[in-house]
Structure 1
Amino acid sequence: MNASQNDWNDLSLQDIWDRFLKGDIRSFETIFDRHFPRLFRFGMTLLQDEDIIKDCIQNLFIELWEKRAQLTSIEQIEPYLYKSLRNRVYNQYNAEKRKTEMLELLQKHELTGINSSGDSDYNTKTDQTNLKTLVNELPIRQREAVMLIFFENYSYEKASEILSINIQSLYKLVSRAVASLRSNLRK
């Protein structure tokens, strides 16, 4: 090990973070290598899906690298990383949950659309076409909200930023849209 490697190992996490903020790739790699195992174990306590946890960690670090110019020097780096990962995992979980809810809504409608003659494939295609038509008939803001939340899998927080509305208004907007879809699907 040469002198420069010894010097590198002697750097505090804060010094490495500060170098990372200035665009030093080696510092970025060091932060990733030092924290990945612990972040992974922590993530697995939140959601027992290795692939999702690995994706969340990788996406966290990709975003850190891309937004390093906007980041500040922070004193508690590890809590920052843990909190950021926790938020990502919860957002991913909520996106999957919303997707499941929409699929269940579709499946309920598809099941009620099967007629006794066995034309279920025809009815399923017809029902999916009807749902797409109904989504397209929603008021523009409701349609945008449904598309972002259920089809693009954005978190409510990100969708509210995109739509430039507060998150509470977005919840109401999506709720009204889903109620309208349910009502129209029953007709």
Structure 2
Amino acid sequence: MKYEQLSSYELWGLIQSADQEAFAYIFTTNSDDIFKYGQKFTTDCELIEDVIQDIFVRLWELKNTLVIHSSIRFYLFSTFRRELVRRLKINQKHQLLEDYHSSVTWEDSFQEILIENQITQESSMRISSALDNLSTRQKEAIYLKYMQDMSYEEISSLMGIKVPSLYNLVLKGLKSMKQFLTSSDYTAKVILLFGIFV
């Protein structure tokens, strides 16, 4: 069966009917992205892997009673983020979520898309400089929107920000990047690549 052609609703139906291959497909197509997302919060790879394993085990165990209102991918990201932050707070009670963000960088994920689109090293350095001007919340929102292709509604729920505030957060971030990039005589290709059309 070609699982990639199925909707999230259809895949969830198969998982609820105990289709292990559908479940394996969900794991293989999401676990790497979730792991990379986890690295934005902590460098503890073992903790990230433990949380990923736990959320997938819980998903399988609760498959008959769990109701997924949005996509399976969004459910996994939001469950993972909530559980990872909970465990980080237990381990580091004095730190706030913003501190987790600031202890690691988002640039590697943005660099990946530049490499995939054959952007030069010079351009790559400029995008890093542009990203330095963004807050960690702006980086996360733009990452989820443009790297993980999530909707504003999903990101709003994931990050605990109201949709209008999220629009404003992303818009200001993109404007900041555009301002920096255009003032640096930045290439139109990269501006279009990141959707910086504001």
Task: Provide the TM-score with structure 2 as the length reference.
Answer: 0.43
Point out the structure with max Rg over C-alpha: 1
TM-score, length-normalised on structure 1?
0.46
